[in-house]
Structure 1
Amino acid sequence: MSARTHRRKTEQYDVVVCGGGLAGFCAAVAAARQGARTCLVQDRPVFGGNSSSEVRVTPHGAAAFHVYAKETGIISELLIEERARNHETVFENGWTNSVWDMTMYDMAQGTENLTFYLNTSIRDVRMANARNIASVIGYVANAELELELTADVFIDCTGDGIVADRAGCQWRMGSEGREEFGELHAPPEASGDVMGSSLLFKTKDLGRPAPFTAPDWAAKLDNPDFFYKQGRNPNDMRGGYWWIEIGVPWDTIYESEDIRHELTRYVLGVWDWIKNKDPLTKELAAHYAIDWIGQVPGKRESRRIMGHYVMTSHDPLNNTVFEDEIAYGGWFLDLHTPGGLLAPTSEHASSEGYNETSDYMVKSYCGPYGIPLRSTIAKDVDNLMMAGRNISVTHAALGTVRVMGTTALVGQAVGTTAAIALRKGLALADMPSQAIRDVQQALLRDGCFLLNSSNEDELDLARSAQVTASSEAVCQGGEVRADLLAAGELGPQDDALRQRKGQWIAISESRLDRVSVCLTNRSGGPQTVKAVIVPVDHIWDYRTDELPTLATTELLVLPGDYQWIDWDVRLGVRDGLKAGSFVRLDLHANSNIVWHCADGIVPGQPCAYEMGQGKMRRDWNGPTRSFRAEPAQYAYAPQHVINGVTRPYRYTNLWRSDPRLPLPQWLALSWEVPQTIRQVEVSFPGSLLWEYRGYAPFYRDPQCPRDYRIEAWVGGEWEQLLAVKGNYQRHCRYTLEQPVHTDKLRMVIEATNGDPSAAIYEIRCYA
């Protein structure tokens, strides 16, 4: 038989996205949803990149450090869907299963305008001229098929920046020296050092002894100091240790297979230490057996493609406000030690025992902060954008922007920008100056959140409506758990006031007469606690030294448990109290005093503690501390659903019905002149407070409305337009079968997924 060469095929699209990790996946779906004919190319058999079942890194983001900072948009749709479908508990790393892969695959299959190729590697780029890519060349490994994909815009989400490199773009790799940008986290001298790659593993509790014998070629680890004094704590028998990490001296691109083999040696060596050598873990691990070992390392860093702006670590640390903001981040500046397991210590925060008040953590805590569009547009090629860990940032800034929750947001923004640029006939380089408002408004409409933009969509009919509701919750504060009060026991999040703690209080009235806190004093004698009330700009305003004081006092706390201590503050407008804003009630440190947590979380009203250098950080996982406010504050008014913000930020921004009244409850829009409405879009509460791994299997957020109907006032009565049963998604869009002409529209919430109140962040209406 004669030899046969592989087949070739050429296809043409508006947008081609190379790389199907979370950044590339969100970019492709966003571009397609915006109407661009889009092709997504992924070199693995599944989507998700580091988050997939091949690598199993848990998607992290801003919500790991900031309450109500969970990423929304496409990534939120995916994560909410996965939790609703999946039986598996989310552990930090190593526990992702194929339900996550199929959740992404399902969305890709159901996205109009989207074509995708899996198992397809990008091998080359063909240029139309010096500044424009004509096509990319891919090879489908298991089909012996060569693909040539032409497009108007290309998006490089390959991680290693393969497309940009082949197209001749300037890129950086390694660490900038401190002198270049004056970054606190930069080393004194520039080097080629990069963060390493990790290989994860997962174990299973068999309920009986499970012996393990390491192969001869496994790493031999016998020194406890390697683990316990160098930030590599084998503290969970379920596996998933991110610190099984290696980079330099190997090149993370060209020697990635050498890194993989070395990491496999170390996985087996670490498990051998845990199972057979470590006196602290041998008994704990006796019944555990290895269930899975990854063979695709999760890479943190390689090429960073130079764009029209290079983001430095000064930007997240100082919360730089960008006119072309298209996403946000909030992970800390998490720079792993080059070399990983081969270095003297592991990642800085880990080697310090994750001390949340250490000098390193104080100088590394940042955000939420904005990310500019200019950092995603290649400066050397006119039709190329980037999303993921290869965007235009310094090595130090990459420590925060590289996490997958953040890269997913950037991906959605880049895909949206590409489609809008094509629709408007604008060059990518002109988008930050000429069409940034269009991009920002499109992102907000698609469920995203931006720090410095709100809904200003002229086509949204709801913005001109009057809003009423069947009832409205009031906020009198947060009471303590009755069972703990009766028993005189401390709750799980109750601890001594070793640092200053702060509680946000939403102010709706022009006065605040009294605040009260529930304290315990077990010192045996009277104690005093300094209390202050300060105005804050938003729920992530962590400043302690720079804020003016509205009121201050010393609270006297006699010995005893669970005492409500009253403070007659008598604050009003003259004192600087502003309706529609937050104040923060701070209690200063006194280790003899416990400030008890509230029984549950009061929506939109979190707490924090002082970590040092005039800065606070989120307290534990964002509970509400006990407090009472007089008069009660009407913090959940119906009008919030058209104020343009879809989460707690500068205010609660939520309508919430009175929890004492039974469902159904309704919220209505009315206009002076009848409107023609074809589409209704709504943002519900839920899945914002914590990051992904904080949610249980088959989770459906109790706050999210489950069963509801939309009605219009037609012919003197309410006419049902549609009914929804079993919802658990946060952001929902409904197109009516026929446009309705009406001056009143209402949403009737019949049941939630568990919460006694109906609640909505935003309603939009379009013709």
Structure 2
Amino acid sequence: MKKTSEKYQVVVAGGGLAGFCAAVAAARHGAQTCLIQDRPVFGGNSSSEVRVTPHGAANFHAYARETGILSELLIEERARNHEEIFENGWTNSVWDLTMYDMAMKTPNLSFHLNTSVQAVIKDGDKKIKSLLVRVANAETEIEVSGDIFIDCTGDGVVADWAGCEWRMGSEGRDEFGEPHAPETASGDTMGNSIHFKTVNMGRPVPFEAPDWAVQHEDPSFFYDQGRHTYDIRGGYWWIEIGVPWHTIYDSEDIRHELTRHTLGIWDWIKNKDPKTKELAANYALDWVGQVPGKRESRRIMGEYFMTEHDPINRTVFEDEIAYGGWFLDLHTPGGLLAPTSEPASAEGYNETSDYAIKSYCGPYGIPLRILIAKDLDNLMMAGRNVSVTHAALGTVRVMATTALMGQAAGTSAAIALKNGLSIKEVPTKVIKEVQQNLLRDGCFLPNVVNEHPGDIARQAVITASSEMLLNGAGPETQDRLPRLLEWNEPETDPKEPLRNRRGQWIAIASPEIESLSVCLTNHSDEPQQIRAALVNVDHIWDYRMEPENGFISSALLTVPPGGCQWVKWKANLGPQDGLKAQSYVRLELDARPHITWHEAGTIISGHVAAFEMGKGRMRRVDRGVTMSYLISPAQSVFSALNVISGVTRPYQYTNLWKSDPALPLSQWVQLAWEKAQFIRTVEITFPGHLIREYHAYGPFYRDPQCAKDYRVQAYVGDEWQDIISVKGNYQRHVRHQLDESVLTSKLRVVIDATNGDPSAAIYEVRCYA
């Protein structure tokens, strides 16, 4: 056995999305970092070994997709990959190599693949000194020393061996009063899953299950218990087993049982189910996973213990470092061995059931303290092993959320080292530095805006070559953007009547509205009346049916019989009615069984819709749409001034500059200062990749809204000089550091071409000396 040692500042154990983002973030912030991964590839559950595609807040909330390091990776993968993405089973090695490429290109980052932690060596009771790791197939043992350790192993292996307190199983309802908690505490956890993938051979092909596979014969097991064979290409998340096995110690037994069930399920789909066997006739098994994807095991006790009350009530934390928005998704213990699968699936994903209402949450903030182990002075964690209850884990466990927590952990560790602080001091002493650096690195925080002291763009006067005016859009409005791929689920019928109250968010620049019009169809033979109302909302995810101080005005609209007609509300509203400049209002129509409110033929940036789900709450319409409406006067909500709003997505306002789409490119936005400034670094955030989840984006996808060819110009010596020139871009967040600082009083970002959109657009420009 070869024995050696290595010394780093930050050591990350576990190379799933949380660990990978933690390691990259720490290294980018200057810490000498080592990432230890026990598999041959990065990505954990998202890798080609397990093939669970990353989920997150955008599955339930428009414009809530996670950004930062994860966004860079997913955008890069879609631009490179020929493969379509489906929910589970379709991840190929292009994703693995995308992560590997980033790791190789990251300064200060070293890594060991196929390397597992064998022991934890402590320095006294409160600190870890080093990890003893073993490289598989190399007969090599390495003692890896560090100053700060981050446990991203999922199972909390490092924390456990270091003697930290942890929990596993479900808290009882009496402990915290959580609505999703069972009546009594138990050791029950969510289970592990494996997935499979099929391929269309273009001709009938046979399949014969081995005799050791599970024989599925009962249709009710699938159709009455929430196990939907919704796509014969592969899947499914519900091929899941936990209880009565232990998700850590019995992982191999679970893997074997899952394999038996998977082959039996494919046998049912292929040979027995009258609903699918003809559809599956030409399909053959292409891949069956043999590394189980794990949902739950140990949860390490941290400086704060997050319960489900926090995401449900959207608790605001001073040490907010990430956000979540997946629903409180607690799978039935036992999985395939239980009477039904996960509750939402078992009830057919009913969006207005009592379960759906109580489970819908977010976007909500996540505090740094749940990433800091309470029992040690130099241990953090990120991933599904953070300090939360079983019920809260139902929402924070999804990979896009854990990736954000990983980036926050790595950033916090590096900043602690830079400031000579214990990691436990970060939440109180340098949390603003952590938050501002996360924002600068492309992340979003619901309760923090850009106030970075070094960003001199914040003091600039902003102008642009042109600005798009908002008039609204109708069913006939042409969508200039290519349609995104969608999951194989039925979309909302565009002629569906208003069965629930529905609202459309509308940004207003000045507090004056003369009229609003909506495009409606009256399916009856008589005129119908429908109540329209306008309310103030705090942001695009303000789903309260009656926001505090929200009511502005209402009116009864008369809708004649007939289809697709514009009905005008002569509102004549102003600040005296409660309208506020640079904000959102929500235009609402009450439920009416004979009336359809038509969707617009395009999606207006930052303009979302929601419907009443019950108990005073709303939720997103379909996968993110704009309802048809017209507003007068036209609103200048895409002003150039938005590039220094401090927020890089639609939220309390659009926060986006868009050029007039009727004018040809090139278009530009300009920053000007009274006194000349030295500028060395320019950072830009372009639009795109926000409204929907990763799954919606097709092979070789490059978001049309994102700038493709652009230049940065400085005004030097009475003329404009190109100081940066880029062609072929598709990333939304870019950073350019000049070889030498330039002294200038004016700077322009000139967009010569986009990836398809007629408007040039930018969320943010930052400048640093």
Q: Normalization by structure 2: what TM-score?
A: 0.98
Matches within 5 A, 1:702-713: 702-713=704-715
Match of residue 758, structure 1, among 739, 757, 760: 760
Deviations 1:620-670 (A, max 9, x none): 011100000011010011111011100000000001100010000011100
Deviations 1:458-479 (A, max 9, x none): 1111010000000000000112
Q: Structure 1 counterpart of 2:680, which letter?
A: R
Distance 1:77 1:493, change over 3 A: farther
Are the counterparts in 2 of residues 491 and 596 from structure 1 also a CA contact under 8 Å? no
Gaps of 5+ in 1: 1-5, 485-489
Are the counterparts in 1 of residues 62 and 620 from structure 2 also a CA contact under 8 Å? yes
Distance 2:168 2:353 in 1: 29
Distance 1:575 1:347, change over 3 A: same
Matches within 5 A, 1:181-260: 181-260=176-255
Deviations 1:318-356 (A, max 9, x none): 000000000000000000000000001100100011111
**Match in the other structure for 2:608:** 606
SS of aligned partner of 2:159: helix
1:95 aligns with 2:90: yes
Deviations 1:383-423 (A, max 9, x none): 00000000000000000000000000000000000000000
Where does structure 1 differ by over 6 angstroms across 4 or more consecutive aligned residues? none
Distance 2:478 2:656 in 1: 30
Q: Once the two structures are aligned, what percentage of the paired residues are identical?
A: 66
Q: Structure 2 counterpart of 1:228, which letter?
A: Y
CA drift of 1:591 comes to: 1.9
CA drift of 1:729 comes to: 0.1
Distance 1:181 1:483, change over 3 A: closer
Distance 2:526 2:645 in 1: 50
Q: Structure 1 counterpart of 2:26, which letter?
A: A
Q: Structure 2 counterpart of 1:743, which letter?
A: S
Q: Structure 2 counterpart of 1:349, which letter?
A: A
CA drift of 1:737 comes to: 2.2
Are the counterparts in 2 of residues 491 and 597 from structure 1 also a CA contact under 8 Å? no
**Match in the other structure for 1:413:** 408
Distance 2:515 2:326 in 1: 36
Match of residue 366, structure 2, among 365, 371, 374: 371
Distance 1:212 1:617, change over 3 A: same
Q: Structure 2 counterpart of 1:94, which letter?
A: G
Q: Structure 2 counterpart of 1:21, which letter?
A: G
Q: Structure 2 counterpart of 1:572, which letter?
A: G
SS of aligned partner of 1:646: coil
Q: Structure 2 counterpart of 1:214, which letter?
A: A
Matches within 5 A, 1:416-431: 416-431=411-426
SS of aligned partner of 1:550: strand
Distance 1:625 1:587 in 2: 11
**Match in the other structure for 1:137:** 132
**Match in the other structure for 2:502:** 501
SS of aligned partner of 2:594: strand
Which deviates further from its counterpart, 344-353 or 273-282? 273-282
CA drift of 1:374 comes to: 0.4
Matches within 5 A, 1:119-518: 119-481=114-476, 493-518=494-519
Distance 2:201 2:753 in 1: 41
**Match in the other structure for 2:74:** 79
Q: Structure 1 counterpart of 2:717, which letter?
A: G
Match of residue 556, structure 1, among 555, 558, 561: 558
SS of aligned partner of 2:58: helix
**Match in the other structure for 1:643:** 645
Distance 1:724 1:155, change over 3 A: same
Q: Normalization by structure 1: what TM-score?
A: 0.98
Are the counterparts in 2 of residues 522 and 559 from structure 1 also a CA contact under 8 Å? yes
**Match in the other structure for 2:749:** 747
Q: Structure 1 counterpart of 2:389, which letter?
A: T
CA drift of 1:9 comes to: 1.1
Which deviates further from its counterpart, 85-94 or 591-600? 591-600
Q: Structure 2 counterpart of 1:708, which letter?
A: Y
Distance 1:347 1:340 in 2: 8
Are the counterparts in 1 of residues 503 and 609 from structure 2 also a CA contact under 8 Å? yes
**Match in the other structure for 1:3:** none
Q: Structure 2 counterpart of 1:759, which letter?
A: A
Distance 1:612 1:201 in 2: 37
Are the counterparts in 2 of residues 83 and 697 from structure 1 also a CA contact under 8 Å? yes
Match of residue 33, structure 1, among 16, 28, 43: 28
Q: Structure 2 counterpart of 1:85, which letter?
A: R
CA drift of 1:86 comes to: 0.4
CA drift of 1:546 comes to: 3.9
Distance 2:298 2:691 in 1: 33
CA drift of 1:545 comes to: 3.1
Distance 2:743 2:13 in 1: 45
Distance 2:744 2:274 in 1: 73
SS of aligned partner of 1:175: coil
Distance 2:339 2:456 in 1: 61
**Match in the other structure for 2:488:** none
RMSD (CA atoms): 1.1
Are the counterparts in 2 of residues 494 and 597 from structure 1 also a CA contact under 8 Å? no
SS of aligned partner of 1:590: coil
Matches within 5 A, 1:570-589: 570-589=572-591
CA drift of 1:491 comes to: 9.2
CA drift of 1:582 comes to: 0.2
Which deviates further from its counterpart, 198-207 or 171-180? 198-207
**Match in the other structure for 1:12:** 7
Distance 2:608 2:21 in 1: 30
Q: How many residues align?
A: 757
Distance 1:407 1:483, change over 3 A: closer
Deviations 1:503-556 (A, max 9, x none): 000010121110000001122222121111010000000010344321111111
**Match in the other structure for 1:727:** 729
Q: Structure 1 counterpart of 2:735, which letter?
A: R
